Structures are given as structure tokens and as C-alpha cells.
Structure 1
Amino acid sequence: MTEQTVVSESKPETLRERRKAERRAQLLSAAAELFADRGFASVRLEDLGAAVGVSGPAVYRHFPNKESVLVELLVGISEYLLEGGRRVANRQPAGREVLNDLIEFHLDFAFESPALIRIQDRDLQNLPDAARRKVRRMQREYVELWVAQLRVHDEALSEIDARTQAHAVFGLINSTPYSAGRTRSKNVRPLLRGMATGALGIDG
């Protein structure tokens, strides 16, 4: 998840600011790949700088330490999922239609951000306590979006069972970086979509 530059209407963005934002985005993208491939503990800031063609000390102009890079990646993707999930959940009609849209949204995430899924699985514990709690809170809120829609679709479904279904679908879709590999069949996404709708009981 790369950072988006916020431009103030009263103070136009300068060329220097744009270049700095672009470099920061490059560093985050490179960090995602390096952390996913090697693991957070095995990557140095010097490695990150080398990946985008800058010196190690130059990285400190953007991030004070390696942990801050991990925080931005994992907090950023959690914010993206929660905000995007809320937008989907606010659509009408609720229930089955929204669940289908949530599946598509989560499939987009899995196919566009496989490195971040791998980092979250392996390195979430390396976040500072406050950041880890924030990520966990946003993850719980994202789950509850699904739970609410599942219970609209099936009023007899308990919260516990709806939560179990939601987690099962996340596990299915989030397995993509491991099960599909770097070269994917064109049938992977339709296959995962069908399995997800089947697991949630909305395929009929």
C-alpha cells in the first residue's frame, strides 16, 4: 500500500514535494517485496535503499527506522480494507448483493497486494504494540462488516457462525499468494469466487 500525496488547495505541491512523495512510494513498494521475500528481520534499511537506487542514509529522510516502514505498510493496508469494506457495505440492497461485492473487493485486495498478505501473516508480531493493536482493531471491524451482511442474508444465522464463515472466506482468498504462485491460471479468480460464494451459502 503506497502513500497518496495530499495536496493542500491553499499551498500547491512543489516539484520537490512530488519527487519526495514518489520516492517514498517507491520505498514502500520495494519494502513490501523485500519483507515478503526475506522476512522483516532479514531486511536492512540499506537493502531497501539499494532496491530503489538510493543510499541507506537517504532512506532516513523518509522513515526514521525499519519498524516505521512496517507500520506504514500494515496499518495502511488495514485502513484500506476497512474503508473500502465500509463503502461496499453501505450499498443497497444489503445482504446477498453486498456480500457478492465484498467478495469482489477482497479478491481485488488479494490479487493486487499478495506481498502484504504474506507480511501480515509472518510479521504482524514485529509491529510496535500500539500499531499492532490498531491493526487488530481494524481487522475486527472489517470482519464485523461481513458478519452484519451475512445475518441480513440469513436471519437465522448466529453472530458466532457468521464470524466463522467470514474468517473461512478470508482464509480461502488470502491463501492466493501461496496457492496460486506468481504465475496464475486465468481460472483462479473465478474458482476462488465460486468457492467463496459457496462457503457463504449465496451461490444458489
Structure 2
Amino acid sequence: MSTEDTVRPTARAAAKAARREQLLEVAKTLYAKHGFHGVRLDDLGKGAGISAPAVYRHFSSKEAVLEELLVGISEYLQSGGDEIVAGAEAAATAESDARSVLRRLIDFHVDFAMSEPELIRIQDRDLAALPEESRRTVRRLQRSYVSRWAEVVARTRPEWSLEAATVRVHAVFGMMNSTPYQARRSSAEVVGVELRAAASAALGID
């Protein structure tokens, strides 16, 4: 096989992957703005500069695009939280070390909330549009992510039960996930600083 024969499939695969990512970005913007049910497959193709039939080369339906967005971000959060906790697990026995892990989790989630407000809005509004199996997958990943946080919170505040820590974590997620959209007139730096401070206070490590 010649070098040219090798390069051509690789270039085609790269172009296809780039187009797929472009479609996901277009969908993220349109779904957040108009809602899943307010967007047609034609709209996705038009936004990416291709025909509606060409979209089918990448996704079988607009529901498949929604699955990619919502399952994908849930997987990202769950694996990111696991990495942070697993990477520091041996050192997280002392309260001070657990606090350090919790601060890294807060930084991780604030960075997500600040960079992906569209995905947060889509999940809040359009999760029910996912097929049942995908909804279950998202819920399972979310429960795992919350559990990771709650375990760390309970280590930093041993006087709190795991149930109490879980309630606090849910409350903090609600705050972090809603604020970036509501505070768009404030600078990103101010929003980020205040979110981190408020989350730390709510979880008992201020």
C-alpha cells in the first residue's frame, strides 16, 4: 500500500470527525436557544453548511445528536470526578487532604459550568426527549458523580451524615449550574471567583 493510499483514508476520517464535531456544536447552540423540539434536522445541516441528508452520514436522527451531547457530558463529569478523587485517594484520609480534593472538584465543576452553559440548559429542558435507555444512562452517571462528591464532603465534615452531604452537593450543583446563565452581564472572572467561594462555604470548607 502506498503512502498516498494510507493518507487518503486518514484525511477522510479526520474530515468526517471534524464535521461531526461541527454538527454537535451547531446542535448545542440551536437546542439551547430554541429547544430540542424547535430544531429540525434541516436546521442542523444548514448551520454546518451541509444538506439535511448529509447529516445522516454522521447521525441517524436529531435524537441521536441529543444523546451524544447529554450522555457525553455526563460521562465527562463522572470520569473527571473519578479521576480527581482516585488521584488523591491515598492522601485524602486526613481532613485537610479531603478539603484539597473537594476544592479541586469545585474548580472542575465551576470550569464546566462556565464553559458549557448551553449543555446545562439543554439538559434541564430536554432530558425527557432522550430515549429511555439514554435517560437511564445519564441518571446513573449523575448519581455516580454526586456520590463521589458526597463521599469527599462527608470526609471533610465528619459531623455530617452522607445523606446530609448529598443534599448539600445537590444544592451546590443547582447554584453552580444556574449562575453562569443568570450572570452573563458580570465578568467571567467575577462569576468564577464568587461561585468557588459560595460552593466552598456551602460545603463547609470556607
- Residues of 1 paired with 2:153 and 2:122: CA distance? 28
Moved more, 36-45 or 93-102: 93-102
Q: Identify, as 1 or 2, the structure richer in helix.
A: 2
SS of 2:87's equivalent? coil
Deviation at 1:184, TM superposition (A): 3.4
2:110 to 107, 112, 123: 107
Spell out, residue by residue over 1:109-151, the C-alpha distance to the aligned partner (whole angstroms, 9 max, x if none).
1011110000000000000000000000000000000111011
Is residue 2:41 matched to residue 1:39? no
Q: Contact conserved, 1:99 with 1:150, CA < 8 A, in 2?
A: yes
Spell out, residue by residue over 1:11-42, the C-alpha distance to the aligned partner (whole angstroms, 9 max, x if none).
88610000000000000011001000000000
- Residues of 1 paired with 2:76 and 2:10: CA distance? 27
Q: Contact conserved, 2:157 with 2:204, CA < 8 A, in 1?
A: no
- Which stretches of structure 1, 4 residues or more, deviate above 6 A after TM superposition? none
1:198 to 188, 201, 205: 201
1:68-107 alignment to 2 at 5 Å?
68-92=64-88, 93-94=91-92, 95-107=98-110
1:1-204 alignment to 2 at 5 Å?
14-92=10-88, 93-94=91-92, 95-181=98-184, 183-185=185-187, 186-203=189-206
Q: Contact conserved, 1:117 with 1:177, CA < 8 A, in 2?
A: no
Root mean square deviation, CA, Å: 1.3
Structure 2 residues without counterparts, runs of 5 or longer: 1-5, 93-97
Q: Contact conserved, 2:180 with 2:191, CA < 8 A, in 1?
A: no
- Residues of 1 paired with 2:180 and 2:197: CA distance? 18
Task: Answer with 1 or 2: which has the greater Rg.
Answer: 2
Normalising to structure 2: TM-score of the pair? 0.90
Normalising to structure 1: TM-score of the pair? 0.91
Question: How many equivalent pairs are there?
Answer: 192
Structure 1 residues without counterparts, runs of 5 or longer: 1-10
Q: Contact conserved, 1:118 with 1:177, CA < 8 A, in 2?
A: no
